[in-house]
Structure 1
């Protein structure tokens, strides 16, 4: 290990590497469980471990990039291994980019300990834990997991309970009963909930208006989309947009 800085002995290097490795596993485990409080604590421990492991051998200005890369990988694999549907893995990546890019732009020379960066990272952890608590398929039966995966793949299509049951090879009544028992929601309510959850990501994008978001989430009628949105979120899409930045939507 001749490349290691003189500031770090071989033994210290090994200890720092072990601490970093276990800190990564701890954060991933907490996120997989949807344990936001535990994950926030694990983030602080990981930051300290990364600093101890990399600061002697990496330039100071490179530390934030390394730290963000590590966190991004942990959140992605935690969400995947928790059984988050594929569409939301993509949404989580977009959320991280949106949140952390905003943090970095606020402070040009950001350090790992800067409150703005830690606030952005905690927001990403909170979002990942929330998605996992609400959307993870890990505890569902194979039938319900197949049904949810099918809904995810065809979220923008016209979906009926009869069609879902036919594709899955069961009766409408059996599918409806099992699904409600395992998720606490009817199939229709679940589809609307998934669509509205997805729409909130799109509504925060400055380039999309409400009609476009409605279409992208499976609603051909933007007024109907607005009614469903208000029923589930207790505010209109316009009010949601205003709450998250106030960019113009037509």
Structure 2
């Protein structure tokens, strides 16, 4: 099979499925690639690639391999066949067939030597991957094998236009006073929800749950005969409204992108109207909690930038000088202004945030105390234990035992 045919197969498969597609020759050299996945996240390493090529070398012509990497990424792979001979392989992915648990993501963080600073990007990456059912994966495998067995045929596009127009009568819609009042009330409720999220007011958000449920019910008939699709569409709108509200409330865009992507995928995966109603309420509350946790709206611009930098790099060692350089000032001035506005030193603020993250991980038995210390930005375990005991009143091990999740 000629290189131009191989490239055509890769482009055709990607256009039809939206999943990254890459073709290699028998030696593992890349021939063609159509992908959207960032090159630094989760690409099969050379050893894994070599192992996969060796397995395919002895495979039957109709075999399609379902390959799962050590980082839980999934791929489909099949041989390129020309004149009954293997000329290369095509790999499709990454994708997932099951959502990753928090413990799965924690294990990947540790195995890839990442820190808590990278957890948002890692979650966002995995949440953005296509989610395939077993049936969908089998269908794509069949399509892949068939494409790999013969060069694609370039179609001849034949234009057909129907010039006969049929007049469609359009009724004039009148807006009654009751309808107008209902519409205006709906917009008022939306504004109240956004204001509550921006203020980090969980009570205010909960007061809008009934209104949210009413709107999802109202919009379920927007697309005739497709209540689930109609409701998903309005849920996407609410996701956008919540994101805008949280941004107004002072949340850094990186966090917003993470949660927005997550709920966009969760909405699309829902299969019931009841599930969508529950998800929409949960979504509004989580955006509100994000404002409470990471909002920097109450600070002056320099302190806001400093806190954003700390939160986005929490898993890495940061000195006062490095922070000052990031925000364009000198260390002594930053230290003084930070203490005045925040009420504590830069170091104390960083330690409190790191310990807060550490407590979340200590509640799970899969990570050791040593791993948690380094993940959350502490350079040595004794210092981590000292700071933890000072702020929490007990050692990390004592805290873990109290929450009943095992021992280190």
Q: What is the TM-score when the length of structure 1 is the normalising length?
A: 0.67
Structure 1 residue 192: deviation in Å?
Answer: 1.7
Aligned to 2:347: 188
Relative to its length, the structure with more strand (as a share) is 2
1:27 and 2:193 aligned? yes
1:121 and 2:287 aligned? no
Counterpart pick for 1:47 among 213, 219, 222? 213
Aligned to 1:76: 243
Aligned to 2:99: none
| Number of matched pairs | 232
Counterpart pick for 1:144 among 292, 296, 303? 303
Using the alignment, how far apart are the partners of 1:95 and 1:146 within structure 2? Answer: 25
Alignment CA distance shift 1:203-1:81 (3 Å): farther
Aligned to 1:89: 256
Within a 5 Å distance, the mapping from 1:213-228 to structure 2 comes to 213-222=372-381, 224-228=383-387
Alignment RMSD (CA, Å): 4.3
Alignment CA distance shift 1:194-1:186 (3 Å): same
Structure 1 residue 49: deviation in Å?
Answer: 2.4
Using the alignment, how far apart are the partners of 1:179 and 1:45 within structure 2? Answer: 41
Using the alignment, how far apart are the partners of 1:95 and 1:201 within structure 2? Answer: 20
Higher relative contact order (CA 8 A, sep 6+): 1
Deviates more, 1:171-180 or 1:16-25: 16-25
Alignment CA distance shift 1:128-1:57 (3 Å): closer
1:65 and 2:232 aligned? yes
- Is the contact between residue 155 and residue 195 of structure 1 (CA under 8 Å) also seen in structure 2? yes
Q: What is the TM-score when the length of structure 2 is the normalising length?
A: 0.45
What do residues 58-96 of structure 1 show as CA deviations (whole Å, max 9, x unaligned)? 434446634543443333222222221345335645886
Aligned to 2:290: 131
What do residues 160-216 of structure 1 show as CA deviations (whole Å, max 9, x unaligned)? 223323544444332222112222222111112233344456667887655444333
Greater Rg over alpha carbons, structure: 2
Aligned to 1:175: 334
Using the alignment, how far apart are the partners of 1:215 and 1:67 within structure 2? Answer: 42
Using the alignment, how far apart are the partners of 1:147 and 1:223 within structure 2? Answer: 27
Deviates more, 1:25-34 or 1:124-133: 124-133
Q: Give structure 2 stretches of 5+ with no counterpart.
A: 1-167
Three-state SS of the structure 1 residue aligned to 2:309 is helix
Using the alignment, how far apart are the partners of 1:64 and 1:188 within structure 2? Answer: 47
